[in-house]
Structure 1
Amino acid sequence: MYHRNEGKTCSIAIAEESTPLQLSIADTSRFREGRITVRFRNEGNEPVRIPDEINDETADYFFLTVLRTERGNFRVLNRKVGKITFHRSLNYRELAPGQEYSVTIPVCLDEVDLEGWKQCSCELETRYYNRQGKDCFLGMLRATARLALQ
């Protein structure tokens, strides 16, 4: 977005909206088995609701997970990417202030040559997207973790 001010042009960057709900990658010890654990934490002063619908069948619709090397190689670790529509009322989990909730999600390693990536320092990034639900967190959260493939 540009604004004119006395003949000069300046740009204004719009930062990502901050949210009391935080996401982190809590455990990568089962990565080679195709599983990682992510953690939601409510850092705010009010309860936050999230859909309690994340499982092996739905995880790819809520999470986009990418593995990157320091050399710039990357692989998307989802079996499929797309939208999901629930034709029923969603179940929710409410996180009180300070409360955490962890869930293990699948990562698809079919197209990753783990042996070829062993010598690299890698970064694992997952993004949680939610566009559905009533009176719950809607939006995107991002988490990263360093990963050594050994």
Structure 2
Amino acid sequence: MAIAEVSTPLQLYIVDTANFMKGEITVSFRNEGNEPVRIPDEINDETADYFFLTVLRTERGDVRILNREIGTMTFQRPLNYRELAPGREYSVTIPVCLDEVDLEDWKQCSCELETRYYNQQGKDCFLGMLRATAKLALQ
């Protein structure tokens, strides 16, 4: 079954992979619409794996999932939100788990890093999925 990506004014970009080998990347949310957009302001080292699914692929077809955990998270309190005005962006650093990945064999080929942001929680905020990719050369 295919999942259609819906056009949305909120966009996601991978903006910095310089610390990838140290276990983190920086992503940015950008409001490219004409109205304010709210997102949960709850993304940190402990919760990022519940909002993001990050995958590394080689041109040879090798694939590694770079999350510590994958699942859903339920907040037992009201969420904190961040509102992005039109044209504004918000960057956050998220962890990538390299513990079980031997990247030595991957250093001789180009890779694509993909992260997907999922949010199904919150009131009057963006609900859905956003996708971003970046080319990556491992050193």
TM-score bracket, shorter-length normalisation: over 0.9
* Structure 1 segment 1-150 matched on structure 2, within 5 A: 15-150=4-139
Provide the C-alpha distance between the structure 1 equivalents of 2:17 and 2:113, rounded to a whole number of angstroms. 9
Provide the C-alpha distance between the structure 2 equivalents of 1:100 and 1:17, rounded to a whole number of angstroms. 20
Identity %: 84
Task: Provide the secondary structure at the position in 2 that maps to 1:116.
Answer: helix
Tell me if structure 2 keeps the 8 A contact 1:64–1:81.
Answer: yes
Show structure 2 runs of 5+ residues with no match.
none
Task: Provide the secondary structure at the position in 2 that maps to 1:54.
Answer: coil
Q: Residue by residue, what CA displacement relative to the aligned partner does 1:17-72 show, whole Å, maximum 9, x if unpaired?
A: 20000000000000000000000000000000000000000000000000000000
Task: Provide the secondary structure at the position in 1 that maps to 2:134.
Answer: strand
Provide the C-alpha distance between the structure 1 equivalents of 2:133 and 2:25, rounded to a whole number of angstroms. 12
Structure 1 position 76, deviation (Å): 0.2
Structure 1 position 14, deviation (Å): 8.6
Structure 1 position 15, deviation (Å): 4.8
Structure 2 letter corresponding to 1:69: T
Structure 1 position 97, deviation (Å): 0.1
Q: Which has the larger radius of gyration?
A: 1
Provide the C-alpha distance between the structure 1 equivalents of 2:6 and 2:52, rounded to a whole number of angstroms. 19
- Structure 1 vs Structure 2 CA RMSD: 1.2
**TM-score, structure 2 as length reference:** 0.97
Provide the C-alpha distance between the structure 2 equivalents of 1:67 and 1:122, rounded to a whole number of angstroms. 7
Task: Provide the secondary structure at the position in 2 that maps to 1:115.
Answer: helix
Provide the C-alpha distance between the structure 1 equivalents of 2:5 and 2:115, rounded to a whole number of angstroms. 16
Show structure 1 runs of 5+ residues with no match.
1-12
| Number of residue pairs aligned between Structure 1 and Structure 2 | 138
Provide the C-alpha distance between the structure 2 equivalents of 1:16 and 1:53, rounded to a whole number of angstroms. 24
Tell me if structure 2 keeps the 8 A contact 1:26–1:37.
Answer: yes
Structure 1 position 16, deviation (Å): 2.4
**TM-score, structure 1 as length reference:** 0.90
Runs of 4+, deviation exceeding 4 Å:
none
